[in-house]
Amino acid sequence: MAEIRNCPRCGRIFTYISSPICGRCMETEEDEFKVVKEYIYDNPGATISEVSQETEVSVEKIMRFLREERLEIKSENSNLVLGCERCGRSINSGRFCENCKGQITEGLKREFGLEKKEPVQRPQYKAEKEKMYTAERRRND
């Protein structure tokens, strides 16, 4: 059953399904995302503060778009810097570098017992008399 909540941004009451904000605020955020994306595309050398100033979207929101992997820093956007939250390496988007993602994934698999297990070796029966037959076939032999 859906839950009724107040939007943390505008205070309106909305039915919470998957987004923590109401539909109107979500539309506003999508519009801001599109503006930021277009600005970065048109101005590849811009810094985060320049993007924020020109698009009137907060630096925190732009960083969130990067962390959510909705935006990606390309090589021509070398003025935008994003670091892995675990090791500090420079990354293009998200929260972790590929190496740390792999380590975290392996750790979780180990912890929850999802590692690949060796297949069970079944014994090989070579003797003819140990083969299985249906009852009717055995009577005919």
Domain ranges of the chain: 22-79, 82-112
119 near 91, Cβ under 8 Å? Answer: no
The pTM (predicted TM-score) of the whole model is 0.64
Query: Mean of the per-residue pLDDT values for the chain?
Result: 81
pLDDT digits (tens, 9 = 90+) for 46-81: 888 899 999 999 999 998 998 988 888 776 555 556
